Chain A
């Protein structure tokens, strides 16, 4: 990343990068992750943000299991974010 970029730019780039990590192979994941980005991203604490990044590294099927509550991530912070995503999904 450009070292000259302002911190505001960096924040925008960071958001855009995560936004692209939310593009997945399944509609269900796209929908849940997009709802979460729209509703919750701005309020995430640094720890939650880190947990969100870790969660996004999971393969799609496992991520779906986490988000639908069929499996629970071992890391409690990651599990907490997965639950938040589930609650943020929908209308």
Chain B
């Protein structure tokens, strides 16, 4: 099945992918969220369930997901208030060990992962969303998993896969009081490409997997 066939068959979801949202870009993000909110409705995981269960999108306007990857602190301080100003729901794909990392160790953490930070946003070294911030986002917005360490893992390393996929979910359950439903693997891998990773995703209990070209609702149980 080609991507063109996929688009024709649908359903097709609109997503805007963000990473850092620096203070210097706040006016731009304000314009973007204003334009998106005029045309599109906010999206939650329950909307995707309804869409797939009934074949009908449950709002009068199509939906858009502003997705924020890597769990950056400036997502909370810059993007969150602008999302709420315009009535949008952000999806925050956090990296759990980054949020758990002591502030003074965060520069070293990002330097050894594929995480880019902005130099001038803060006077202190914290660049990750804190768990308090994630708890505050959880509910008004969607908190989702983007692995535990945001590091490249050999796809045949069962222990590392377990740590990144299941371990991240354990962190969310401990800190938020519940599992999160959505997961995005690094570099956009799909469910169905790697049986070992798929088994870990199943054990973790995620419901949705975001990849480069798809959002897959997963089998449970």
User: Bound pair: A and B?
Assistant: no
- Interface residues, chain A, CB within 8 Å of chain B? none
- Interface residues, chain B, CB within 8 Å of chain A? none
